[in-house]
Amino acid sequence: MKIGILSDIHENFGNLNRALEMCKALGVERLLCLGDLINPGVARVLAHCGLPCHLIWGNNDGDKVLITKLALAADSQLTLSDRTYDFVEIDGRKIFMTHYDDLAQPMAHSGLYDVVLYGHNHQKFAGSAGNCLILNPGELFGYLTGIASFAIYDTAAHTAEHHLVG
């Protein structure tokens, strides 16, 4: 399964919509979002984008009450963690999601996960610790680094690639 990895959207609806179009064109079947929405409208887009999406909090998400209500709506495809980290298992792959970069290396070296995903520092990165893939999709925002990006993780091949938006 191909999974789209998004982070640090920071209210950039244009880049978010372009990334979602690209994800669909590239065969992505679900999304994982690593936080920093800033605007509940971003959660509304994710909740109704046509792909199931699991979201963790970042340090800059905006109105968490409204975002939670959007996730709980009957027609929403958005699920929400109550923390800045979470664990999911997809296609037998154990995936640790965190907003913060300082948790990525220790979790990757723990030997408990196939993939560790992180955001926060806006720097795209792909590396490994043994058999554990470590991935930062970079910022979808695009203004801090000048590069708007997301990543796609393929559970079958256990590979990831970054994609530029814009």
- pLDDT value of position 166: 81
Instruction: Decide: 33 and 61 in contact? Cβ < 8 Å.
Output: no
Q: pTM for the full model?
A: 0.97
| Amino acid at position 91, single letter | D
- Between the two ends of the chain, the Cα-to-Cα distance in Å is 25
Q: Is the pLDDT of residue 141 over 90?
A: yes
Domain boundaries, the chain: 2-159
- Pure H helices in the chain: 13-25, 40-47, 64-72, 104-109
- Nearest Cα to 162, choosing from 154, 153, 147, 150? 150
Six token digits for residue 158: 């256990």
pLDDT in tens, 46-79: 999 999 999 999 999 999 999 999 999 999 999 9
Six token digits for residue 116: 């560790």
Rounded CA-CA distance 91/78 in Å is: 19
- pLDDT value of position 114: 99
- pLDDT value of position 117: 99
Instruction: Decide: 124 and 151 in contact? Cβ < 8 Å.
Output: yes
DSSP-derived pairing of the beta strands 2-6 and 30-33: parallel
pLDDT in tens, 77-124: 999 999 999 999 999 999 999 999 999 999 999 999 999 999 999 999
Superfamily of domain 2-159: Metallo-dependent phosphatases (3.60.21.10)
